[in-house]
Amino acid sequence: MGEALEGRRSRRTATLASLAAELGVSRTTVSNAYNRPDQLSPALRRRVLDTARRLGYPGPDPVARSLRTRKAGAVGLLLTEALSYAFRDPVAVQFLEGLALACEDNGSGLLLVPVSPEADDPGAVARAGVDGFVVYSMPDDDDNFAAVLERPVPVVVCDQPTAVSDVDRVGIDDHAAMVDMARHLAGLGHRRVGVLCMRLSTERNDGFASVGRQENARYEVQRRRLSGLREGFAEAGVDWSTVPVVERFDHSESAGASGAEQLLARHDVTAIACTSDLLALGALRHVRESGRRVPEEVSITGFDGVPAAERAELTTIRQPTLDKGRAAGELLLDRGDRQRSRTLLLPTELLARATSGPPPER
């Protein structure tokens, strides 16, 4: 063990200069072997790396390099959730995969910067060593988003907020997509409908959401999806003030199940339109466990198009989430000297499957 430790101590003394002297080449040649391999022949680069390994030289100091080039070599992804959400929520997972693919193509790293709505820490944004930010679905007037805009780096917003100038944006037309869903249900004959939606504010509410709360929601995506349902059902003569809307702060199947239970305990509806697939899958589970048939007694619809929704044959709106993540990364990393901001709206598709059908006859 003593010899091994001594070996480690001796290897720590290797530097770029000592490696260059050992090889009889310039320090620029050694640096190019790591940072600009196309400048060396494969044989010379292999000799540099093999010698570096033998001497214990770890490569150029990434901190020193970032100070010299003013480039961190990483993209920051700002999440309005705890870190585990990025690996648990199926929509976030697909978006993250798309963004990671764009980073891989560019040779950049990816730094997750989670900021839970219950524990805001704008300092996390200031501390992040990144070359730019992708902001993933933040609420309006968020302090962390304001901190991002104070950084002198490019920014791409995914989904929300949209009322921001001089930033690129990737998203979908949530309002139009939900108008289509409302028309689908109304076309089947549904007039007594209920809604399950994701959180409308950073303040926790697990219950019925008034029309005023819906219209003043801090989360623009939810506000737009609800307004789309409202417009679509209004075309069929449904008074939105009579439509019960249940809000859930947490985004999970269990939240969807409890929301459906709360909704059905007070309202006799023939259809439940959900603003996400996770909520819809939970509602589907509760309705079936309560002994009701889907769609013969209650139709259920979602939004997102996650794999589990396809397996459940859920009627939903499919959005290209992976493509959204890749597009956000490409907009940020391929910005070049472009000064004008860009907005990319990706297409959605209504998928009418087995969980929606005509309402039961009275």
Q: What CATH number is given to the structural domain containing 140?
A: 3.40.50.2300
Residues 32 and 165 reside in one and the same domain: no
Hey, what are 261's tokens?
């239970």
Tell me if 67 is assigned to some domain: no
Residues 26-37 have pLDDT tens digits of 988 888 887 778
Question: What tens digit of pLDDT does each residue of 182-214 get?
Answer: 999 999 999 999 999 999 998 999 999 999 999
Please indicate, yes or no, whether residues 263 and 137 belong to a single structural domain of this protein: no
Residue type, 90: P
Greatest mean pLDDT among 119-133, 237-251, 338-352 lies in 237-251
pLDDT of residue 286: 98
> Which of 104-118, 158-172, 223-237 shows the lowest mean pLDDT across its residues?
104-118
| Mean pLDDT score across all residues of the chain | 88
For residues 163 and 85, membership in a common domain is answered with yes
Sequence-separated (6 or more) residues with CB below 8 Å from residue 73: 62, 66, 107, 108, 109, 131
Domain assignment present for 349: no
CA distance 362 to 359: 9
Report d(CA 37, CA 44) in Å as an integer: 10
Radius of gyration of the chain (CA): 26
Q: How many CB atoms lie within 10 A of CB 362?
A: 4
Prediction pTM value: 0.80
Check residues 320 and 141 and name the one with the higher pLDDT: 320
329 pLDDT band (50/70/90 cuts)? Answer: very high
Is residue 350 in some structural domain?
no
Task: Please name the amino acid found at residue 201.
Answer: S
Number of structural domains (the chain) is 3
Percentage of the chain modeled with pLDDT above 70:
90
d(CA 357, CA 360): 9
Mean pLDDT across the stretch 230-242? 98
Distance CA 231, CA 225 (A): 10
Distance CA 236, CA 141 (A): 35
Domain ranges, residue 124: 72-170+322-344
What local confidence, expressed as pLDDT, does residue 322 receive? 97
Q: Is the pLDDT of residue 308 over 80?
A: yes
Among 169, 178, 183, 207, smallest CA distance to 332 is for: 169
Residues 191 and 139 in one domain: no
Q: Comparing C-alpha atoms, which of 319, 315, 316 is closest to residue 327? A: 319
Mean pLDDT along residues 210-237: 97
Overall average pLDDT of the 290-316 stretch: 98
